[in-house]
Amino acid sequence: MTSSSADAGLLVRWDATAGAAGDMALGALLDAGAPLDAVRGQLDLLGLDGWSLDVEPATRGGLAGTYARVRAQVGPAHRRYSWIRDHLSAAPLAAGVRSWALQIFAVLAEAEAHVHRIEVDRVHFHEVGALDAIIDVVGVAAALDALGVARGSCSSVVTGFGVTSAAHGTLPVPAPAVVEILRRSGIPSTPGDLAFETIEVHSGLDAQDHLLAPKRLTALLGAAGWHTTQVLDLPDRFLAVASASAAPRAGRPTR
Mean pLDDT, all residues of the chain? 77
Using the predicted structure, report yes or no on whether residue 198 has a pLDDT greater than 50.
yes
Residue 194: the pLDDT is 75
Q: How many CB atoms lie within 10 A of CB 37?
A: 8
pTM of the full structure: 0.80
Residue 192: the pLDDT is 80
Mean pLDDT computed over 206-231? 47
Q: Which residues pair with 224 in a beta bridge?
A: 239
pLDDT digits (tens, 9 = 90+) for 18-71: 777 888 889 888 988 999 999 999 999 999 999 999 999 888 777 788 889 898
In the chain, which ranges are continuous DSSP H helix? 3-8, 22-31, 36-44, 81-90, 95-116, 131-147, 176-185
Cβ atoms 70, 139 nearer than 8 A: yes
Higher pLDDT, 68 or 250: 68
